[in-house]
Chains A and B, each alone.
Chain A
Amino acid sequence: MKFKEALLHGLWKDLTPFRLVLGLCPALAVTSSAENGMGMGLAATFVLVFSNMFISMLRKVIPDKVRIGSFIVVIATLVVLVEMVMKAYFFPLSQQLGIFIPLIVVNCIILGRAEAFASRNPVLLSMVDGLSIGIGFTISLTVLGSIREVLGAGSWFGMQVFGESFEPFEFMVKAPGAFICLGIMLGLMNAYSRKRGETFIQT
C-alpha cells in the first residue's frame, strides 16, 4: 500500500514543478524544446533515484547537524557522473543544456526530497519516491517544452508540425514566453483542482 502511494504521489499530488513550486530554474530554462525538457527531466530523475537511495542508506550514519552538507556531496557526485555520461554519449544535448546540467546540484527538488523523504524512510521506498517525483518532473517538462516548441518554432521533437505558411511566435521560445507559459499552466491546474474540490497549497 505504501509503495503504491509513494509511486503515485509524484504524478499528481506532489507534481513538480506545478504543485510543489520547486525546481523552477530548469523548468523555465531548458523547456524551449520538447527534447531538451525531456533530457533534463531524465537526468534529474536519475540523480533523484540514486541520491534518495544513497541518502536513505546513510540516514543513520549522517549526523543531524551536517546533514545538508552531506546530502549536497552525495548529489554533486551523482551530478558529475551524469555530466560525464552525457558528454560522452549525448554530446549535442549536453551542449544544448549547457550550465544547467551542473546546476542540477542546486535543484531544490532533489535536496527537498532528500530532506523530506529519504532521510527518514527505508531504501526501497525512497527509491520509488525518487522515481515517482522524477517521472512527474519529466512529464511536466516535456509537456511544457512541447507547448513552447510547437507554438514558438512550429515543430515537435524537431519534426515540423505546421506547414510552410506558419509564422512561429518567437516570443514563446524566449524568456518571457517561459514565464508566461508556466504561469498560465499553473493557473489552469489551479482551476482544475478547485473544480475537483482539492485545495492547492501554494501562496
Chain B
Amino acid sequence: MDLFYLAIGAIFVNNILLAQYLGNCPFCGVSKKLGTSIGMGVAVIFVATLASVFTWLVYHYILKPYDMQFIQTLAFILIIASLVQFVEIFLKKQSKGLYNALGIFLPLITTNCAVMGIALLNIKHEFNFLEMVIFSVASATGFALAIVLFAGLRERLMISPVPRAMQGTAVALVTAGVMSLAFFGFYGMVQ
C-alpha cells in the first residue's frame, strides 16, 4: 500500500515538472505538437527508469562501499550519457520502428534535468531497490502526463489571439503556472 501511495505521490502531488521544476527545457521546447510530446514522454519514461536502476546500483555497490560519494555527480552523468548512447545504438539495430519514433529525442535526454534529477532524488530519499523502481517509473510518468497535457493546451494557444508581447514562450509559461496551480489540488492527498 505504501508503494501505491509513493507512486500516486510522485505522479500527481510532487509532479516532477510542475511541483519540482525539473525538465523544463524540453517542457517548453518540444511541447508544440501533441505527437512529439508523446514521443518525448515515452522516451523519458524509458531512459529515466533504466538510468535510475544503473545509477542506484552503482551508488550502492561501488561508490558507497569505497566511500566515493563525492564523485556521485560525475559518475551519474557519465552513466546517463553512455546509457543514452547505448540505447540509441541498440534501438537502431534491433527495433527500427521504436528507433524512428524515439530516435530524435534520445540525444536531447542526456541534458534533460528530469532524468538526472530522478536519479539524484532516489539517492536523496534513501529508497530501497523496489521503491526506487516504482518512484522512477511514477516520476517519469508524471513528466509524460504533464508534457502531453501541456502540448494539448499549446496547440489551442497557437490559434488563440494572444497579445503580441506574450506570444510563444511567455504565454506558455503562464499556462504552465496555471496548470501547476491545478496540480496543487492534489496536495494533501498523500502525505
Contact = CB atoms under 8 A, between A and B. Distances in A.
Interface of A: 21-25, 28-29, 68-69, 72-73, 76-77, 79-80, 83-84, 98-99, 102-103, 105-108, 111, 171, 174-184, 186-188, 190-191, 194, 202-203
A104 to B, nearest CB: 9
A187 B165 contact: yes
For the complex, would chain B's binding face be called helix, strand, loop or mixed by DSSP majority? helix
For the complex, would chain A's binding face be called helix, strand, loop or mixed by DSSP majority? helix
B25 A186 contact: no
A21 B19 CA distance: 20
9 contacts: A25-B21, A25-B24, A79-B74, A105-B73, A175-B19, A180-B178, A183-B171, A186-B169, A186-B173
Contacts of B74: 73, 76-77, 79-80
Given A72-B77, A72-B110, A179 B180 contact: yes
B167 to A, nearest CB: 8
A180 B177 contact: yes
Contacts of A188: 165
A151 B19 CA distance: 19
B169 A179 contact: no
A106 B19 CA distance: 19
Interface in B6-48: 18-25, 27-28, 32
B180 A22 contact: no
A176 B181 contact: yes
Given A103-B117, A186-B169, 13 more contacts: A22-B25, A23-B25, A76-B77, A80-B73, A83-B70, A99-B120, A102-B73, A105-B73, A108-B25, A176-B180, A180-B177, A183-B172, A203-B32
B174 interface: yes
B40 to A, nearest CB: 15
Contacts of A194: 164-165
B165 A106 contact: no
A137 to B, nearest CB: 14
Interface residues of B, number: 51
Contact of B169 (A21, A23, A73, A171): A21
Contact of A76 (B22, B23, B24, B73): B73
B72 to A, nearest CB: 7
Given A179-B176, A191-B165, A99 B21 contact: no
B121 A179 contact: no
A80 B73 CA distance: 7
Given A80-B71, A176-B180, A111 B166 contact: no
A195 to B, nearest CB: 9
Contacts of B107: 68
Contacts of A68: 81, 107, 110
- Smallest CB-CB A-B distances: 7 pairs: A183-B173, A179-B177, A180-B177, A191-B165, A183-B174, A29-B21, A24-B24
